[in-house]
Amino acid sequence: MSESYNKQFNKPHTTFSQQVDRLVQRGLIVKDIEKAKKQLEIIGYYRLSSYFFFLEEKNNDNSRSHKFKKDATFDDAIRLYVFDQKLRLLVMEAIERIEVALRSSWAHKMSECYGSHPHIPSFTVYD
């Protein structure tokens, strides 16, 4: 069994109110507490935490300080999250168009070379 399965994890459960409180204690400006709690409930603290990274001050060694820049807001993190979500959807749409075009081109070439049903093997059965 892997060593990671034997590791003890001891982070306590936190409520959405406690999560917002932690962010505020670290210097994040939260204008609407109830809205922030609802967004944490929907998105999740740890999923959203990767967007907090861009709003944090860095330590001298460039590591995370977990302290927010003086004007950083919860809404800034949400805007980054929504931007990333929209960008991801645009990229997926573009990939889907490329996939369909390649598949169509491939199918056309296959039928040109091997007939209308190139996916069906033409086996000869010997007696």
Enter the tokens of residue 80.
């980054």
Residue 83 near residue 76 (C-beta atoms within 8 A): no
Q: What is the pLDDT of residues 42-87, one digit of tens each?
A: 999 999 999 999 999 999 998 889 999 999 999 999 999 999 999 9
Rounded CA separation 96/99 (Å)? 5
Which stretch of DSSP H or E encloses residue 32?
Answer: none
Q: Which tokens in the block code for residue 43?
A: 């998105």
Q: Is 0.75 surpassed by the pTM of this model?
A: no
Return the number of other C-beta atoms located less than 10 Å from residue 23's C-beta.
23
